[in-house]
Structure formats: C-alpha cells, structure tokens
C-alpha cells in the first residue's frame, strides 16, 4: 500500500511530540556563563561610595569587560530555556496558565539580565571620564536589574514549572516543592529594593534556581505516557 503525503502528515501529527531539545542544556549554558562572569569581575557592592565604584570600574580592565559580555550572553540561553519548558509542558498536556506565566517570567528575567550586562558595560565605558556620581548610579542600576529585577520574574518561571508538575505528578513531590521554595525566595527578593540586607537571597535564587532547572530538565518526562508510568 502506498502511503500518501496526507497520510504521513496526519500520522506525524497524531504521534506525541518529544518536547524539543534537552531542557538541561540551555539551563547549564546560562549557569556557566553567569558563574564565569561573576568569577571574572564582582563589581562594586550595592550602595558603594561613588569614589569606590569609579575606582573599581577604572581598574576592571579586560576581565570586567568580558564579565559584562558573559552576563549579557547568559540572557539568550535563559530565554531559550523558558520557551523550551513552555513547549515541553504543552506536550505533556498541561493546559493551564502556569506554562505561559513561566514563559513570560523567563523572558522578563532574560531581559533583566541582558539589561544588567549592558548597563555594566556602559559603566565601564564611561569610567575613564572620571565622574564618580555616574559610576555609582550605573553600578546601582546594573545591580538592581540583575538582582531583584531578575529574581522576581525568574520566580515566575520557577513557579510556572513547579506548580503544574506538582499538581499533575510530573515530578517527584519534593523536587516540585523545592522549586516552589526557590520561587518564594525570588518573590521575597523584591524587598532588596528597600532592605539591602536581604541581598544574600539573590544568589540563592539565581544559582539555586538554575541548578533546579537543570535537574528538572533531566528528569522531566518527554511524553505524557512516560509521566503516567513514573507518576
């Protein structure tokens, strides 16, 4: 029997999708770029004196420039990650708002990270002019974009993955709950705007969240049938 093009297309549509590329790969790429950028140049601390911020920017050199490049670049795999998780959850039959909320949060978090890198690069570029006030303002803006500006929408991505996985049993319960805890910390991070002492929460959300997404990317089923067998 000859298989027609229409039959082949219909069969392909009927088969369940695999959910796209490996989810852990863009998560790992974003984590590696973020860690490498932080290792090369820490930058001024939040609330640093203008003179201190200016001196650090002026002495940053190539390491600081590469750091801002890596920070900006980490936004791209994060955006890919958000889209990939959205697709995978759709393949797994999640038809609630969670995946879309997660996608929106992931894209906003990626935009915040990109903005942080661009502002940091701008701070380095204008540092030779010797304006300490501008240096301090740009350093603070870069921190806020990459700190609470990143953590809060990133929490939406974490929750958008964790909640439907918890409700539908797509992940072990403790894994999903861990994601919700990290998402809660991400929401709390907004208080850094008025309580700078809470700043240590930020790396917990960023690095802990990326590590959680890597783990979820490894164990999340690719098809709903597999989810039923492991649930």
Instruction: Tell which residue, 27, 20, 28, 37, has the closest CA to residue 114.
Output: 37
In-domain check, residue 15:
no
Q: How far apart are CA 118 and CA 131, in angstroms?
A: 19
In-domain check, residue 4:
no
In-domain check, residue 3:
no
Q: What is the pTM of this model?
A: 0.87
In-domain check, residue 74:
yes
DSSP letters, 53-116, are HHHHHHH-HHHHHHHHHHHHHTHHHHHHHHHHHHHHHHHTT--SSHHHHHHHHHHHHHHHHHHH
Q: Tell me the HSE value of 164 on the side-chain side, using a 13 A CA sphere.
A: 24
Given a cut of 80, whether residue 228 has pLDDT beyond it is no
Given a cut of 70, whether residue 2 has pLDDT beyond it is no
Q: Which residues contact 32 (CB under 8 A, 6 or more apart)?
A: none
Given a cut of 90, whether residue 84 has pLDDT beyond it is yes
Q: pLDDT above 90 covers what percent of the chain?
A: 77
pLDDT per position as a tens digit, 38-55: 999 988 888 889 999 999
Query: Residue 102's domain spans which residues?
Result: 21-230
| pLDDT band (50, 70, 90) for residue 152 | very high
Q: Which residue has the higher pLDDT, 158 or 230?
A: 158
| Number of domain units in the chain | 1
In the chain, how many H helices and how many E strands?
11, 0
Task: Look at the block and give the residue holding tokens 């796209």.
Answer: 20
């Amino acid at each position: 029997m000859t298989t027609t093009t229409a039959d082949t297309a219909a069969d392909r549509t009927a088969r369940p999708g695999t959910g796209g590329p490996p989810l852990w790969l863009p998560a790992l790429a974003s984590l590696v770029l973020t860690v490498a950028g932080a290792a090369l140049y820490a930058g001024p601390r939040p609330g640093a004196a203008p003179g201190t911020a200016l001196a650090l920017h002026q002495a940053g050199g190539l390491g600081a420039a590469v750091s801002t490049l890596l920070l900006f670049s980490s936004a791209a795999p994060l955006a890919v990650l958000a889209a990939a998780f959205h697709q995978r959850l759709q393949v797994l039959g999640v038809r609630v708002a969670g995946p879309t909320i997660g996608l929106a949060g992931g894209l906003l978090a990626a935009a915040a990270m990109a903005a942080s890198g661009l502002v940091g690069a701008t701070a380095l570029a204008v540092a030779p002019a010797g304006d300490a006030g501008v240096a301090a303002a740009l350093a603070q803006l870069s921190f806020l974009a990459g700190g609470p500006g990143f953590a809060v929408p990133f929490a939406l991505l974490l929750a958008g993955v964790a909640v439907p996985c918890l409700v539908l049993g797509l992940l072990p319960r403790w894994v999903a709950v861990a994601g919700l805890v990290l998402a809660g910390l991400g929401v709390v991070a907004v208080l850094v705007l008025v309580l700078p002492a809470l700043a240590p929460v930020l790396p917990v959300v960023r690095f802990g969240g990326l590590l959680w997404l890597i783990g979820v990317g490894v164990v999340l089923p690719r098809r709903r049938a597999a989810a039923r067998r492991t649930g």
